[in-house]
Amino acid sequence: MIDLHTHTIFSDGVLVPAELARRAQALQYKALAFTDHVDFSNLDFVLPRLISLCRKIADEMGMVLLPGVELTHLPPALIADGVAQARDLGAALVVVHGESLVEPVAAGTNRAAIEAGADILAHPGLITREEALLAAGKGVFLEITTRPGHALANGHVAVTARAAGAGLLLNNDAHAPGDLVSLAQAERVALGAGISDQEWQQMRRNARELVERKNVAN
């Protein structure tokens, strides 16, 4: 199991990063990304600490740990600046908080995140076919999520991504220990969204390939 969207005490999670990693390790996760909620007020505070922690403990834990961020509720016009700043500060992975059905995310956020070249557009809600086509062309992954609430649009995301040829990933958006699901449960969530067995295996390959690319770059 690979989870590329999690939160720690550096935003609204309940665990320090090391404990989150240990709990994922105990569930036989192979890779984990810390992607705490940030905007321009805390990006330069959170990211260096996650980078330092990943460098210290990843080898000892025998798993890949990637320092990243989730740009959250930025005005769409500023998302490109946020992505660029996160990369300049050393983020291995840049996630953007998409237009979830259960939060008042500004319209245009999905498109701005894709145009900015974020790695993952999290829980993109009622993403349009045009946006999904753009994501396919830019290599931006769309997220299927196990998180209640955000998961309400999973079926729509799956159908729209399939039609557009956009890549999909499954993440937990974990904030607490109980959010780290098993591989079997992750598969059930994917199948429940209308994803085929073949597509599920491709999603898993997508995650492995993204981790390999970002781990080398980091």
* Domain CATH code at residue 122: 3.20.20.140
pLDDT for the residue numbered 13: 97
**Residue 216: is its pLDDT beyond 80?**
no
Q: Measured between alpha carbons, how far is 38 from 27 in angstroms, rounded to an integer?
A: 27
Q: Rounded to whole angstroms, how far apart are CA atoms 49 and 112? A: 27
Determine how many CB atoms are found less than 10 A away from the CB of residue 131. Answer: 25
Of the pLDDT bands very low, low, confident and very high (cuts 50, 70, 90), residue 181 is very high
What is the per-residue burial (b if ≥16 Cβ within 10 Å, else e) of 171-188? bbbbbeeebbbeeeebbe
Q: What's this model's pTM, rounded to 2 decimal places?
A: 0.97
Domain range for residue 136? 2-217
| Count of the separate structural domains present in the chain | 1
Predicted local distance difference test score (pLDDT) of residue 50: 97
- How many of the other CB atoms lie within 10 Å of CB of 38? 28
At 217, the pLDDT band (50, 70, 90 cuts) reads low
Q: Residue 155's CB: how many other CB atoms inside 10 A?
A: 14
pLDDT in tens, 71-116: 999 999 999 999 999 999 999 999 999 999 999 999 999 999 999 9
**Is pLDDT at 149 greater than 80 in this prediction?**
yes
